[in-house]
Amino acid sequence: MTIFNFSAGPAVLPKEVLQQAQAEFLDWHGTGMSVMEMSHRGKEFMSIAAQAEADLRELMNIPKNYKTLFLQGGAHLQFSMIPLNLLRGKLSADYVNTGEWSKKAMDEAKKFCYVNEVASNADKKASYVPDFKSWKLDKDAAYVHYTTNETIGGVEFSWVPDVGKVPLVADMSSNILSRPYDVSKFGLIYAGAQKNIGPAGLALVIVREDLLGHAPKGLPTMLDFKVHADADSMYNTPPTYGMYMAGLVFQWLKKNGGVAQMEKANIAKAKLLYDTIDASNGFYHCPVNKPDRSRMNVPFTTQDAAVDAEFIKQAEARGLLQLKGHRLTGGMRASIYNAMTMAGVQALADFMGEFARRKG
């Protein structure tokens, strides 16, 4: 039986990447060493890190005046590092509240500054992207933070806010590399790796150089972006195997048409699932406003929690795994990141159709 893993993260990785990592596990390129045994300052690993950065910069067309950092602590640590590094003496920052991950970022930032909630979708259970015309931005804010895709609620921005001269900060943990972005529109982009990049334990930060070097006096060294930038992410021992795996994923992306081709595939996969939901005559329901539906995370329910549980159980028997919705939302959630194949999405859509016919 073919297994399809719809986990929200840690998530499915490309089969070709796993096979390459397996082949190189004991002996990387004739060195007699596994990557996880290498010194991070040895020429072997330094070449891996340099290639990974070069490939990421090519895939995202990152301008020269941006630094790319490979860090630890996931997006959660960035919730703290961003205000600590980007406040630059200012007292407040703007945050857009579109769901659970936005709220986590806001709650952490409140420890360091006043958080101005410029917009929220809480009035309709986090089911839409607030119209930009309604945003109450502060021209004196240190930065504007938003979450491009809410993994739990399945709400995704299809546009990039124009916030003028105030630096725009984006948590792209769950949709980075799934669609093209103009990096020059952002002051900082960050992402946990465990959805579209590689295994858990690595976080990417892409930061404009003029935003570096403004950390307050007394800030712990490991929390200073400039320290990591000056050391090319090698200030301490970085997550070496995670960087290696990310590099393999970047190479896989390049071989398969890059980010533009990923976007085409992701549009097709998401359309298939949403069409299946919408064609079910109300048997399935997606709570998200149609224009704001995520291409990465598709939440849906039936009208009965007991039927939802039966759906998940029967899906598992068919090899369709990790479809249980988040504990805060219930129901089901299919995460269809870059590495999820159309075959997997088609298998899920076919099962959804069969289940609805039997139960509807």
The answer to whether residues 33 and 129 belong to one domain is: yes
For the residues 22-37, what does the mean pLDDT come to?
96
Q: What is the pLDDT of residue 327?
A: 82
Cα–Cα distance measured from residue 351 to residue 360, given in angstroms and rounded to the nearest whole number: 13
Residue 126 confidence (pLDDT): 94
Residue 6: inside a domain, yes or no? no
Query: With 90 as the cut, is the pLDDT of residue 281 above it?
Result: yes
**Distances in whole angstroms, Cα of residue 141 to Cα of each of 104, 121, 145, 214:** 19, 21, 10, 15
Task: Note the pLDDT of residue 329.
Answer: 84
pLDDT for the residue 326: 86
Asked if 308 and 330 count as a contact pair (C-beta separation under 8 A), the reply is yes
Query: pLDDT per residue over 320-333, tens digit each?
Result: 999 999 887 889 99
Q: What is the mean pLDDT of residues 128-156?
A: 97
pLDDT at position 192 over 80: yes
Any idea what the Cα angle at residue 60 is, between residues 59 and 65, rounded to 5°? Answer: 125
Per the structure block, which two tokens stand in for 108?
């952490």
Residue 360 pLDDT greater than 80, yes or no? no
User: Are 56 and 185 contained in the same domain?
Assistant: yes
Percent above pLDDT 90 for the chain? 97
Q: Which residues are designated catalytic?
A: 101, 171, 195
Average pLDDT, the chain: 97
Among candidate residues 224, 255, 286, the one where a domain is terminated: 255
The CATH number given to whatever domain includes residue 345 is 3.90.1150.10
Contact 183, 126 (CB under 8 A): no
**Residue 61: per-residue pLDDT:** 98
219-245 pLDDT tens trace:
999 999 999 999 999 999 999 999 999
**What local confidence, expressed as pLDDT, does residue 328 receive?**
79
Q: Which domain holds residue 283?
A: 257-359
Confidence band, pLDDT 50/70/90 cuts, at residue 156: very high
pLDDT tens digits, one per residue of 291-339:
999 999 999 999 899 999 999 999 999 999 999 998 878 899 999 999 9
Number of domains in the chain: 2
Q: Are strands 4-5 and 92-97 parallel, antiparallel or unpaired?
A: unpaired
The single-letter code of the amino acid at 109 is A
Q: Which residue has the tokens 């069409």?
A: 275
Type of residue numbered 253: L
Q: Are residues 148 and 289 in the same domain?
A: no
CATH number where 214 lies: 3.40.640.10
Domain boundary among the residues 215, 236, 255 is at: 255
How high is the pLDDT of residue 287?
95
Residue 330 has what pLDDT? Answer: 84
